[in-house]
Amino acid sequence: MKIKIFYLLALLSFFSTSLLRAQNSTVTLSGLVKGKVPQAGLPFVNVVLLKEGDSSFVTGTVSNESGRFTLTNIKSGNYFLQLSYTGFISKTQPVLVGSLSSFLDLGILELMPDSKELDAVVVTSQQDGLNNKMDKKSFAVAANIAQSGGSVLQALKNLPGITSSQDGKVELRGSDKVAILIDGKQTALTGFGGQTGLDNIPASAIERIEIINNPSSKYDANGNAGIINIIYKKNRQEGFNGKAGISTGLGALWVKKENLPGIRPQYQATPKINPSLSLNYRKNKVNAFLQADWLYTETLNKNEFVTRTFDNGTVIQQQTKRNRNTHFVTTKTGFDWNINSQDMLTISGLFGIEKIIDRGDQPFFNEDFSKRERLWQFLEDELKTTAVASAAYQHKFRQAGHLLNVGFNYTFHREDEKYNFENTLPTYTGLDSFKLLSDEHVADFNIDYVRPLK
């Protein structure tokens, strides 16, 4: 009887062991991935299990937010476990999966940080195109590539609310009662109420344009429709730095009507070239700057066809054509002295030369163009010279917005115009010429005291 019980127990043990081995044919593999520094679980670590013999892929997963991972249905055998994570050194370790247990915990797996010395990182930014405040709107011109190579007048025409009349006057919201300032000061470059010089100031020299729709009493009365303040570039980097650039363009004009016989051809191409140079030296409390620009353009300034009928029935066919070459050179230099945290002195000078050469033709024909009655041709050589000297002192009180500004400006403007005329009639040719020279001197002194009510 005892022998039968012994054989029965041995048989049951054999079947239990066989059943256990059948249940452990696959294993669940788990672990916790942490960083060596810091000692914290690493989320979303890439976990891959490979066969030891041929490194073939078996299965893979990613760790959860606390760094834990689980691989299921792993057969017994020898494997490689690969761990990879951004910013840490990848790790590979052998893993032996047996059949005695259905669960294998690998414990804590540590990854070492991957420290590398990187090159210097340069962070760049771009100024917003529009800065809208309660009292003024500021438009960045320097960052607008589409306006490079153009003039300030062209840049103004692209701003909302600003238009230009046929004679070059700038209008703000339909009114020409606009004061044009350069760096907060009125100069001969803007004509002291006119704006004829704006078309020849390179936009590449301008940092931004400010528009004040409701100017306060500190501005002149001729700007009751608004103030346009043109701000020149000024570099603010430490040490010596500079920038040189050149922009060019070429346009084409469509000949809508052929010229009348016997005159010089009109400009059909409109080339434009604008080299510029900007130098700046800033150290401690002193900032010195130099800005120079040259703008050259060729344009068809005027081309009009007119038919005149007189009381006696005579009909005259007339054309007025004017080709224009323009050179504009402007140089602005000066320095800022930050005396202390509350006081600053700025002394600057601006010198500009504008040279305009117009070649005009004005023929007169009878009604059927069979006879030329007269040909009037002229050469206009105009040179405008402007020199501006400015000094400004600013004191900042302890209260925010509490300021004292003292400024002195002197402007000299000269216009030297030469005209040469040739009047060709059927019987004779007449020549005439004259010269016009005019000087303008303007000096102003201003004191502005600002103190907030609160």
Q: What are the structural domain ranges in the chain?
A: 21-111, 130-229, 237-254+262-450
Q: Is the pLDDT of residue 125 over 70?
A: no
Q: Is the pLDDT of residue 107 over 80?
A: yes
Q: Quick one: pLDDT at residue 431?
A: 94
Give pLDDT tens digits for 126-138.
555 555 555 677 8
Kindly list the distances between the CA atom of residue 161 and the CA atoms of 213, 228, 318, in Å, as whole numbers in the listed order: 10, 12, 37
User: What are φ and ψ of residue 248, in 5° steps?
Assistant: -135, 160
CATH number of 21-111: 2.60.40.10
State what percent of residues in the chain have pLDDT above 70.
81
Q: Is the distance from CB of 280 to CB of 235 less than 8 angstroms?
A: yes
Yes or no: is domain 130-229 CATH 2.170.130.10? yes
Q: Which tokens belong to 219?
A: 């501005």
Residue 285, sorted as left (phi over 0), alpha (psi -120 to 50) or beta, turns out to be alpha
Model confidence at 235, pLDDT cuts 50, 70, 90, reads: low
Q: Is the pLDDT of residue 8 over 80?
A: no
144 compared with 423, residue with greater pLDDT? 423
Give the end-to-end CA distance of the chain in Å, rounded to a whole number. 112
Q: Is the distance from CB of 175 to CB of 225 less than 8 angstroms?
A: yes
